């Protein structure tokens, strides 16, 4: 999958509109140099581009940034830590909000619009719009925006799963005999939902990575999302390819962890 991501990213960047154009062409001082560079790039075939990128990665060389003229990993290392902290804090807060809300909403006899309406509204709001709204009202930040977006999606799943679990015959029998809900959650409901929670955790990581770029760009967070945005604007293929590979590895590891959790639970 990672190999397909590398090939697909290279092809998408090469055939993207405006790839063989440069803002320096608008300036007479740099127009001749820019046109010469673009002419040299246009002469390279897709096969040559793929061979160069794949060969570099196979040797452990991710290349040099076209925009900053420094090794790609020099740019990525500090930004990787910034994005990692944002993802961890956002996912942790989202799970806390979604789990608390779903436990309260699923305990009643009937679903309440008090819990369903906010989640439905947040699901309809794009990440960029929510981040812009936070900036306009001067309240909240990147962690809160990511947490709200993830919590709305996680809540829908957790609410439905917990509501079905509360209606299981053995849980109803235990409640009728006076077993406390806290004990039922700890001993019966949450262990039974563990495989589903593993799959939901994988989906949370994928959703968080998809929201990383607009959130970091709007809040000016110096992370991987902002770096990917600048790389896409400036046709910086080595940087864009490295960021895409990191995200692909993250998604792959999350999916592998989810499958391992499910297999362990079934065993």
Q: Is the dihedral of CA 233, 84, 200, 114 positive or negative?
A: negative
pLDDT recorded at residue 89 = 94
pLDDT at 113 over 90: no
More confident residue, 144 or 264: 144
Where does the chain hold its CATH 1.10.3720.10 domain(s)? 75-266
d(CA 236, CA 228): 9
Number of neighbours of residue 202 by Cβ within 10 angstroms? 19
pLDDT recorded at residue 42 = 67
pLDDT recorded at residue 23 = 66
Integer CA distances (angstroms), 58 to 3, 54, 55, 73, 142, in order:
11, 6, 5, 15, 35
Q: Please, which residues have CB within 8 angstroms of residue 60's CB and are 6 or more apart in sequence?
A: none
Number of neighbours of residue 30 by Cβ within 10 angstroms? 14
Q: Please, which residues have CB within 8 angstroms of residue 27's CB and are 6 or more apart in sequence?
A: none
**Segment holding 79, helix H or strand E:** helix 72-106
pLDDT recorded at residue 260 = 62
pLDDT band at 112 (very low <50, low <70, confident <90, very high): low
pLDDT recorded at residue 218 = 93
* Residue 178 tokens, joined: 């006076």
Domain range 75-266, CATH architecture: Orthogonal Bundle (1.10)
pTM passes above 0.85: no
Beta-carbon-side half-sphere exposure of residue 57 (alpha carbons within 13 Å): 17
Q: DSSP label at 188?
A: I
pLDDT band at 110 (very low <50, low <70, confident <90, very high): low
d(CA 213, CA 232): 11
Closest by Cα among 43, 114, 54, 99 to 245: 54
Q: Please, which residues have CB within 8 angstroms of residue 1's CB and are 6 or more apart in sequence?
A: 248, 252
Number of neighbours of residue 263 by Cβ within 10 angstroms? 11
Q: DSSP label at 177?
A: T
pLDDT recorded at residue 84 = 93
Q: Please, which residues have CB within 8 angstroms of residue 89's CB and are 6 or more apart in sequence?
A: 143, 147
Number of neighbours of residue 94 by Cβ within 10 angstroms? 25
Q: Please, which residues have CB within 8 angstroms of residue 192's CB and are 6 or more apart in sequence?
A: 165
Let me know if 228 is exposed, middle or buried by CB neighbors in 10 A (0-12, 13-18, 19+). buried
pLDDT band at 33 (very low <50, low <70, confident <90, very high): confident
pLDDT at 122 over 70: yes
d(CA 187, CA 125): 37
Tell me which of 25-29, 32-36, 41-45, 166-170 is least confident. 41-45
């Amino acid at each position: 999958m990672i190999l397909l991501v590398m090939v697909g990213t290279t092809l998408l960047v090469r055939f993207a509109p405006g790839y063989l154009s440069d803002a320096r062409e608008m300036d007479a001082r740099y127009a001749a140099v820019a046109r010469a560079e673009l002419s040299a790039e246009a002469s390279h075939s897709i096969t040559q581009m793929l061979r160069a990128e794949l060969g570099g990665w196979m040797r452990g060389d991710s290349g040099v940034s076209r925009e900053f003229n420094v090794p790609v990993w020099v740019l990525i290392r500090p930004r990787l830590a910034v994005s990692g902290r944002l993802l961890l804090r956002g996912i942790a807060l989202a799970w806390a909000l979604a789990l608390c809300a779903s436990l309260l909403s699923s305990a009643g006899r009937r679903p309440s619009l008090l819990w369903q309406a906010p989640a439905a509204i947040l699901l309809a709001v794009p990440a960029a719009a929510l981040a812009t709204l936070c900036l306009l009202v001067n309240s909240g930040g990147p962690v809160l925006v990511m947490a709200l977006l993830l919590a709305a999606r996680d809540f829908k799943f957790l609410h439905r799963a917990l509501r079905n679990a509360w209606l299981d015959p053995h849980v109803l029998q235990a409640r009728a005999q006076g077993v406390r809900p806290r004990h039922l959650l700890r001993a019966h409901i949450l262990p039974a939902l563990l495989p589903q929670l593993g799959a939901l955790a994988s989906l949370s990581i994928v959703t968080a990575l998809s929201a990383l770029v607009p959130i970091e760009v709007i809040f000016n967070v110096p992370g991987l999302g902002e770096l990917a945005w600048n790389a896409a604007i400036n046709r910086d293929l080595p940087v864009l390819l490295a960021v895409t590979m990191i995200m692909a590895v993250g998604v792959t590891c999350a999916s592998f962890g989810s499958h391992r959790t499910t297999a362990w639970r079934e065993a």
